[in-house]
Amino acid sequence: MTDTLAAYRKTLPYIHDWVSYKVWQLRVPGVQVAIGYAGEVLFEEAWGHADVEAGRRLTTTDLFRIASHSKTFTATALLLLAERGALRLDDTVGTYVPALADGGSPLADATLRELMEMGAGVIRDGHDGDYWSLARPFPDEEELLALVLDRGQKVPAGSSFNYSNLGYSLLGLVIAAVSGTTYNDFVREAITEPLGLRNTGPDWDPTRADDFVVGYTGFHTDRRRHRIDHVDTRAMAAATGFHGTAGDLVRYFSQHVIGQGALLSDHSKRLAQRKAWSATDDPADRGYGAGFVVDRIGGREVRGHSGGFPGHITQSLFDPASGLVVSVLTSAAAGPATLIATAIIELLDRAAADDAPGAPVPDGVDPATFTGRFANPWGVTDIALVGDRLLEIDPAAPAPLESPTRLEVVDADTLRMTHGNRFGSIDEDVTYSRDADGTTTGIRAGGGMSLTAWSVPVEPPAVAAGVEA
């Protein structure tokens, strides 16, 4: 039986190397990654720059805007209030936000649970959502209510899934009304401070401006990235305002694992994490619970949330049964946060799989004598240790396990390709060239072609990130 934690630990060095390549390949200005398991943070790393133009290297404590991760904090706050008997999830929103009834909105009769599950039919961002393009400030409470009262319910409550930032912003008003304090103060006092999340908070914090990561535009309309200023999300903090770090998010989501942590009861966790709706007409597709995205990666059930803020794309995923948690934060529009988080889970699952094809590295053989990155004019190849087996992986592919080749040790300088795509060179050998001190200089692999040992080049920050110098 595979020792899961040991398999994970063996694979973390390759995860580091693979992410390093993706950051360079995709010219992402900055990336944070953290991985946890069974309540322990196993891995926490940062790549790139927090501010490219200033040359400020990114650290694991620099702050990203984590956007819709905020909804998980809002749902958690409501569940805490429900556990304390301060509200019921089947209370109507109008009970706590009387302006809805006063304005004649049918949303006054929607329940808190329906808003939490995105089933109240609330319009997504209003009929003027250009604050997302920073064409104007995010709404204050008065404008938020005006956006909701202006044809704010597009379909009847309970009829369909409709993701809504305005709906979660209304829940922020509910939390303030019930708690007798501001939304921001309540989530600090009830969640982030008790958990010791020193680098997580509900909105832009100008007192820590120097700790925030600069966000950048994407490549979809320009060949160069441009920096984006931070803004306060005001009355929409409950939907999208939060900032945080990957490490803090792993610690936070570890509290949502069933049977782990003391923040919420397991009953409340199950209420939040069960699928209420599917995102498409296919009931097997990813969906939504009460503040948590419900999905599968391979055979693994995962929960969590993504986040999209001007200049920041983020993704956190956790397995509520096993306690595996992955958080990836990126500082660019269209940043590859979901791609990286999904790949990490797939690599860890492959590492721990009892039925993986191929032979483990024999006892007494140091796999480090084989692992490395190699390149020729046709591409880049990684020889990686994933669990206790060696794989040949293309790091330039969208996913590391898109088309891997299993490798078995033949002798001290030879591997055999045993399992994989037979359009390649299965049943042929990978032979190593080494210099006098044993350092690997290259390999001869698929098609008998030579590849030279290679590493990601060190480039000036602006060039590496694709921003204006």
Tens-of-pLDDT digits for all 469 residues of the chain?
479 999 999 999 999 999 999 999 999 999 999 999 999 999 999 999 999 999 999 999 999 999 999 999 999 999 999 999 999 999 999 999 999 999 999 999 999 999 999 999 999 999 999 999 999 999 999 999 999 999 999 999 999 999 999 999 999 999 999 999 999 999 999 999 999 999 999 999 999 999 999 999 999 999 999 999 999 999 999 999 999 999 999 999 999 999 999 999 999 999 999 999 999 999 889 999 999 999 999 989 999 999 999 999 999 999 999 999 999 999 999 999 999 999 999 999 999 998 877 789 999 999 999 999 999 999 999 999 999 999 999 999 999 999 999 999 999 999 999 999 999 999 999 999 999 999 999 999 988 999 999 999 988 999 999 998 6
The amino acid sitting at 378 is W
The confidence score (pLDDT) of residue 356 equals 79
CA distance 177 to 181: 7
Closest C-alpha to 244, from 317, 308, 192: 192
pLDDT of residue 182: 98
Element of type H or E holding 302: strand 300-309
Sequence letter at residue 244 = G
pLDDT value of residue 135: 97
CA dist 451 and 440 (Å) reads 11
CA distances from 241 to 59, 206, 381 (A): 21, 13, 40
Per-residue confidence (pLDDT) for residue 469, from 0 to 100: 67
Phi, psi of 340 (to 5 degrees): -70, -45
Name the burial class of residue 438, with classes exposed (0-12), middle (13-18) and buried (19+) by CB atoms within 10 angstroms of its CB: exposed
**Amino acid 132: pLDDT:** 97
Rounded to whole angstroms, what are the CA distances from 163 to 114, 155, 278, 346?
11, 12, 11, 27
* Residue closest to 145 by CA, chosen among 114, 104, 92: 104
Per DSSP, what are the bridge partners of residue 65? 243
First and final C-alpha spacing in the chain: 53
Question: Other CB atoms closer than 10 Å to residue 341's CB: what's the count?
Answer: 25
Using alpha carbons, list the distances in angstroms from residue 21 to 6, 71, 278, 339, 395: 24, 32, 34, 13, 7
Asked if 394 contacts 465 with a C-beta cutoff of 8 angstroms, the reply is no
Residue 416 burial by Cβ neighbours in a 10 Å radius (0-12, 13-18, 19+): middle
Cβ burial of 286 (10 Å; 0-12, 13-18, 19+) is middle
Provide the token pair at 437. 């001190």
Residue 309, amino acid: F
The pLDDT assigned to 323 comes to 97
Specify the pTM.
Answer: 0.97
Task: Determine if residue 180 is left, alpha or beta; phi over 0 gives left, psi from -120 to 50 gives alpha, anything else beta.
Answer: left
Closest by CA to 402, choosing from 346, 348, 443, 358, is 346
